[in-house]
Structure 1
Amino acid sequence: MKNGNKIIVIVLIFLNIGCSSRKKNILAETLNSQKEEIKRVMDNPNAFELQIIYTHIKRNQKNEVKFKDYTYNLNAKNYFYPASTVKLPIAILALEKLNTIQNTSINTEFSIGDKPRKFKFSEEISKIFAVSDNDASTNLLEFIGFDYLNNSMIKKGLSPFRVVHRLSSPDSANPITKPITLYKEDNSTMNLPPLISEPNKPLLLKKLKKGIGYKYDGKVIKGPFDFSNKNYYPVETLHNTLKRIVFPEVFKEKERFHLTEKDREFILFSMQNLPRNAGYDSNQFPDNYCKFFMFGDSNVSIPDDIKIYNKVGDAYGTLIDCAYIVDVQNKIEFMISATILVNKNEIFNDDNYEYEEIGLPFLAEVGRQLYQRNKKNKSN
C-alpha cells in the first residue's frame, strides 16, 4: 500500500510538471518565430538592444483583472533614449495638476509667456497622441514643470524615471519654465509664475555612450554619443504607466493618477484615436503613423473593432511602443511594450536608421503574432 501511494504521488508530480510545461509563454513562442521580420533581429538581439514586456490579461467572473507579465532582456540599467514616450505621463499629469485648480477642465485655455496665442488642454493632448506633436508636449510641460512631473511619477511608484529636457525645442534643457496664464471657466484669469526645477545630474547607467560617432552642426564627430544628460524612461516604468491609466482599480490609491473619470476616459480616447479621426490628412498621417505594433509596416486602414491605446517614440535610431491592444469583437486584450535600436552605421543624429527596413517590420510582426496567438487561445 505504501508503494502504491508512492506511485500515485510520483504520477501526480509528473502530471503537474506536464500541466505547467503546457502553459504557453506566447512571447517566447513569438520571438522564436522563423518569420524573417522577427528572425533577423532575434539572430543577434544584443545588437538591437532589444527589451520587451508582454502582459497577459485575465478576467474572473466578476470582471476583475489579473496580470501575468512575460519579459525579454528587460533591464532598467541598460539605457535607451525614450523619445516621445515621455509625452504619455506629460499628458496625464497635465490633467492631474489642472484638477487641483478650481474652475478648470480639459477645455480650459492657456497662454505661454507674453505671446497672445491661446491653447486648449484637450487639443494639446489630442495632438500628442494622434501625431506625437512635440510643440504640444512642450506647451503642457511649461504648465507642469519638471519637478512636478518627476516627483509625481516617483510618488506613484513609477520609477526609475526622469524628464530633464523638452523635445525638439530651443533651449530644451532650460530648467526654468515659462509663465502661464490660465483662462478659467468663471471668466477669471490665473497667472502662474515660472517654475525652477532641480539641477540635472548625469545618469549613472550602462549603455549611456553609444556608437562610434554622431552628427553635430553638419559634421560627423568621432566618438560615442553621450546620453547621460537625456530623459530616462525604462520599459517597465513605461509599461506600468500604461497599466495605471487603463486599469486604475488594480492599484492602490496612492499609486493611481488622480483624474476624474471623464478626464481618464478622454486620455484613453485620445490614445486610441487615429490621425484621420483627429482632423489630420490621412495621406500625410496614415493610420499607422503612431501605431507600430501590428500595423507599423503597412499603410492599411486599422479596422474599427481593433483599438490600440498606446504611445510611441522614435529618435536616434530607437523605436519604442507601449500599447494596450483590444479586439472588441473577439474579446481579445493584451499589453505589449518594446524598444529596439536600429542604427547599423553606429552614427547618431544622422537620420540614417533602419526604421522601415528592420525596426517597424519587427514590432509590427511581433504585434500580429501576439494577436493571432491570443485569438487562437481564445477559441480553444
Structure 2
Amino acid sequence: MKHFLLLISCVAIASCSQQKQNLNFLEVALSSDNIKIKRVVDSIDDYQVQIKYTQIDRRNDSVFFTDYDFQVNDSMYFYPASTVKFPTAVLALEKLNKVDSLSMHTKYYVEGDTVESTVAKDVSEIFAVSDNLANNRLVEFLGFEAINQELRDKGISPIRITHRLGHRSDDLRTKPIIIYLNDSTIGITSSILNKTPEELELLEIAKGLGYYEDDELINTPFNFSQKNFYPITSQHNVIKRVIFPQNFKESERFHISDKQREHLLEAMHTLPQKVGYDNTTFYDSYCKFFLYGDTKENIPEHIEIYNKVGFAYGTLTDCAYVKDTEKNVEFLLTATILVNKDGIFNDDAYEYEEIGIPFLAQLGREIYQQELNRK
C-alpha cells in the first residue's frame, strides 16, 4: 500500500521459521476499512502519523521483541506534550535512591509554594490525570540537564526536555526543594541554573499557517524549535525498559527498587476513579487513548493499559503496554497524530474527538483483535 514504508527489525534472536510466523499486524491494522482508520490513512500526509508496534513472545524465562514501524522518523518533529512526564517520573524515583534519607513517601514542597507532596503522590497524579503541577515539582527536583543526561546515558535518545508544562515554562532556574527529613529537621536543595536550550533543527519544526498569541492571529507557521523533543523511538525505549528491565544491560536500566517499580506500574495502569478522582470528569479512558479512547464506558478489569498520553497543539500521542490478563495477550504500541485542519495553532480548534482519538482507539482495537488470534 502507498505510504507504507515499514521498517521491520527483529530485536530478539529468532530462527527464520519463527520470524515468518510474525505477521505484520500493523500493516493489516492500517489497511482496515473501518472509517476511523481509513479516513486518516487515505489522507495520511495531513496527519503526520508515526507508529511503533512491538509483538511480544515469551519462551521459558525469556522475552523476545519484534518491532514494526510506520513512518517513524526521529528527525520529523511532533510536540510530545505530557508524554515527557513519564521519564521524569521514573528518574525522580531513581534519584531518591542516591540519598539514604529519602524515600518516595518523604514529604517535600517547592520553595514559594504551599503544596506539600511526595514523589509517590506526584507519580500517581502524573499517570492518573496527567497533572502538570505534579510533573513540574519533579522537574524542580531533577533539573532539565540531569533529566536529559540520565536518559542519554541509558541509551535513550534523541531526547530534549527543556521546559515545564502549563506555567513558568521558560524559567531556566529550578526552585529549591524543602524536604522533611524527620520531625525536627529539613533539607533544602540548591537551585539549578540550566543552560539556554539551542533551537531544534528538525523537519516540520515550523508547523501550520499561523497561530494566536495574546488573542492576535500571527500569519506565520508556529515555531516549535524551543519546545520539548521526545520522539516515538525514545518513548518506546523508555516503556520497554520499565516493563521489561531484564531485556536490557544494567547500564541501560532505570535503577529503581522493587517497591518503587511496583508503585510505578500500579500508577501507570490505575484508573482515575480508583485513586479518588470523580469518574464523571475523569472517566476511565481520560488518559487511555488506545482501545477505549473514544468511549466513556468503564474499562474491564482484565484489560490493563500501562501508558502515558500527551495532547496539546493538536497533537495526540500515546505510549502503552497493553495486557489482557484473561486472554494472555500483550503488546507495546506507541503512536502520534496531528489533527489541526485549519492549520492555526492556539485556537483550540483541533479535531481531537472527531478524528484523532477515534483513530488511536481503533488502531489499538485492530492490533488487539489480531493478537487474540496469534499463537
TM-score by length of 2: 0.94
Q: Which moved more, 1:113-122 or 1:97-106?
A: 113-122
Flag the 1:36–1:197 CA change in 2: closer, same or farther, 3 A: same
Q: Which moved more, 1:111-120 or 1:228-237?
A: 111-120
Q: Distance in 2 between matches of 1:131 and 1:19?
A: 40
List gaps (5 residues or longer) in structure 1. 1-15
- The aligned residue for residue 317 of structure 1 is 314
- Larger Rg over CA atoms: 1
- The aligned residue for residue 208 of structure 1 is 205
1:273 equivalent to 2:270? Answer yes
Q: Distance in 2 between matches of 1:339 and 1:301?
A: 24
- TM-aligned CA deviation for residue 114 of structure 1: 3.6
- The aligned residue for residue 343 of structure 1 is 340
- The aligned residue for residue 38 of structure 1 is 37
Paired residues of 1:103 and 1:186 also in contact (CA < 8 A): no
1:61 equivalent to 2:69? Answer no
- The aligned residue for residue 4 of structure 1 is none
- The aligned residue for residue 26 of structure 2 is 27
- TM-aligned CA deviation for residue 377 of structure 1: 1.6
Flag the 1:230–1:107 CA change in 2: closer, same or farther, 3 A: same
3-state SS in 2 of match to 1:344: coil
Flag the 1:131–1:19 CA change in 2: closer, same or farther, 3 A: closer
Paired residues of 1:159 and 1:237 also in contact (CA < 8 A): yes
- TM-aligned CA deviation for residue 59 of structure 1: 0.5
Name which of 159, 162, 165 aligns with 2:163. Answer: 165
Q: Distance in 2 between matches of 1:56 and 1:83?
A: 26
Flag the 1:307–1:190 CA change in 2: closer, same or farther, 3 A: same
- The aligned residue for residue 354 of structure 1 is 351
- The aligned residue for residue 248 of structure 2 is 251
TM-score by length of 1: 0.92
Matches within 5 A, 1:1-380: 23-62=22-61, 64-170=62-168, 172-185=169-182, 188-378=185-375
- Percent identical pairs in the alignment equals 46
- TM-aligned CA deviation for residue 117 of structure 1: 3.2
Work out the number of aligned pairs and report it: 361
- TM-aligned CA deviation for residue 96 of structure 1: 0.8
- The aligned residue for residue 7 of structure 1 is none
Given residue 92 of structure 2, which amino acid in structure 1 is its aligned partner?
Answer: A
More helix by share: 1
Given residue 173 of structure 1, which amino acid in structure 2 is its aligned partner?
Answer: D
Q: Distance in 2 between matches of 1:364 and 1:191?
A: 45
3-state SS in 1 of match to 2:95: helix
3-state SS in 1 of match to 2:146: helix
- TM-aligned CA deviation for residue 21 of structure 1: 6.3
Paired residues of 1:104 and 1:185 also in contact (CA < 8 A): no
3-state SS in 2 of match to 1:369: helix
- TM-aligned CA deviation for residue 199 of structure 1: 1.9
3-state SS in 2 of match to 1:176: coil
Flag the 1:22–1:91 CA change in 2: closer, same or farther, 3 A: closer
Q: Distance in 1 between matches of 2:286 and 2:35?
A: 23
- TM-aligned CA deviation for residue 366 of structure 1: 0.5
Flag the 1:23–1:255 CA change in 2: closer, same or farther, 3 A: closer
Given residue 194 of structure 1, which amino acid in structure 2 is its aligned partner?
Answer: S
- The aligned residue for residue 6 of structure 2 is none
Flag the 1:248–1:22 CA change in 2: closer, same or farther, 3 A: closer
Alpha-carbon RMSD across the aligned residues, in angstroms, is 1.6
- TM-aligned CA deviation for residue 19 of structure 1: 9.2
Paired residues of 1:244 and 1:251 also in contact (CA < 8 A): yes
Deviations 1:53-78 (A, max 9, x none): 0000000023x111100000000000
Flag the 1:247–1:17 CA change in 2: closer, same or farther, 3 A: closer
List gaps (5 residues or longer) in structure 2. 1-14
Q: Which moved more, 1:20-29 or 1:369-378?
A: 20-29
- TM-aligned CA deviation for residue 261 of structure 1: 1.1
Q: Distance in 2 between matches of 1:116 and 1:359?
A: 38
Deviations 1:102-144 (A, max 9, x none): 1221111111114343211111111100000011100111111
3-state SS in 2 of match to 1:86: helix
